[in-house]
Amino acid sequence: MKTRDLAYIALFAAVVAVLGVLPPITVAVVPVPITAQTLGVMLAGSVLGARRGGLALLLFLAVVAIGMPVLSGGRGGLSVFTGPAAGYLYSWPIGAFVVGLLTQLFWRRLNLGWAFLANVVGGILVIYAIGIPFTSLYADVPLWASFTGSFVFLPGDGVKALIAALVAVGVRRAYPVIELPARQPAHR
Amino acid sequence: MTLLALYSPRPGALHRTPAGWKLAALAGLSVLLFAVPELPVAATALAVVVLLALAGARLTARQVLAQVRPVWLWLAGLLAFHLVVTDLATGALAVLRLATLVLAAAVVTATSRVAELVAVIEWLLAPLRLVGVRPGRIGLAIAMTLRFIPLVAERAGRIREAQAARGATRPLFLLLVPLLVQVLQLAHTTAEALDARGADDEAPPRPFWRRS
């Protein structure tokens, strides 16, 4: 991996951290705030692609784990990895990877629609598919209960996917970072 | 914007314990709590962890409570849910287990220096040399992230000011495209500067399938 890729990965880990500073919206019924940090998951995949996007979120989690309060609300440290909503955290690198994979797949014809699709699948479906069963297993509640509990986040996540799609198309035009394998030298 | 780690410098016995041991103990504890779903086990574990937090890590009672505060709504909701759907014993077990793990993890964080934890991460990733990864680059990446955080925040503020000066009151997300383009260029320049100083001089280890 080139130093440039490493810098891009570190940059998006930082972007996710900065998005955590934006004031979270708290919904009364669910004890998890709606934050802009999953927007960072979508952006990392959309801009950097699968491998670097996933690694950016892994790096972000490493920064959280060593005790930096970079999760929304100034949380951090190892305790967030043992909390009931930790499954959502674990899902972030995978979500970013899937967003990146789909973005690369659609790269040549990427428009708002395709970018939105990539972000909905990777940034919403994948994250829910991991976070919901995790909470259910970990806190010993049936699947339906943790399933209905997460629906409060759906409208917010939809808006985030739309924003991420707009940004993905804009950045692709202005400063494309993703290179398709065909254009890369063979030895990489 | 400065970033203060959640490390709490105190002369506790746990501060002198190597971070790797504490992390191994934490992992062992989480396995134990889920492998043996018994109320007395969970209650004892919680008592031990609280004792360690107060005596071993020299945290104050207030600090201990502050660690559990972000999840207390979860705990209360969980207990209420189990009272309605199952029974008190199941609910108490789930709550005790969660509280124990959250507190234990917080104790490890409060007693381990950032540099020590980074060293543990590099040690854990050392086997990845076999597939061509340089574990030493993790430390570099973490350092870059910590440097980029205030930088990204500062650039965002600057673009907002520039847009406001032109009388453009645009929604916040329209800031993202110019911001990302600017910081991507910045990251590119940083990488070139690092390479010029020899950051990429150590050749990556050969993956095992390319070794002869």
Interface predicted TM-score (ipTM) of this complex, two decimals: 0.87
Residues of A in contact with B1 (CB under 8 A): 21
- Cα separations in angstroms, A143 against A121, A135, B81, B165, B204: 21, 8, 13, 51, 45
Q: Which amino acid is at B178?
A: P
Higher pLDDT, A1 or A111: A111
B9-13, B85-89, B154-158: which is most confident: B154-158
d(CA A137, CA A146): 10
DSSP chain A: --HHHHHHHHHHHHHHHHHTTSPPBPPTTSSS-B-SHHHHHHHHHHHH-HHHHHHHHHHHHHHHHTT---BGGGB-SGGGGSSTTHHHHHHHHHHHHHHHHHHHHTGGG--HHHHHHHHHIIIIIHHHHHHHHHHHHHTT--HHHHHHHGGGGHHHHHHHHHHHHHHHHHHHHHS-----GGGS-TT-
Exposure of B100 by Cβ count < 10 A (0-12 exposed, 13-18 middle, 19+ buried)? buried
A7, burial (CB in 10 Å: exposed 0-12, middle 13-18, buried 19+): buried
CATH classification code of A3-183: 1.10.1760.20
Question: Least CB-CB distance to A10: which of B104, B148, B200?
Answer: B148
**Residue B1 confidence (pLDDT):** 41
Which of A2-6, A103-107, A114-118, B33-37 shows the lowest per-residue confidence on average (mean pLDDT)? B33-37
B173 reaches A (C-beta below 8 A): yes
> Does A14 contact chain B (CB < 8 Å)?
yes
Closest Cα in chain A to B71: A83
- Contact state of A141 with B81 under an 8 Å Cβ cutoff: yes
Q: Find which of B97, B101, B184 to mutate to test the A interface (most A CBs within 10 Å of its CB).
A: B184
3 state DSSP class of B205: coil
Judged by average pLDDT, the poorest of A27-36, A65-74, A173-182, B57-66 is A27-36
| B contact residues 103-162, partner A, Cβ 8 Å cutoff | 103-106, 108-110, 112, 114, 117-118, 121, 137-138, 140-142, 144-146, 148-149, 151-153, 156
Token pair in block for residue B177: 């495209």
CA–CA gap between residue A142 and residue B71 (Å, rounded): 19
What is the tens place of the pLDDT at every residue in B151-191?
998 898 888 888 888 877 777 677 899 999 999 999 999 99
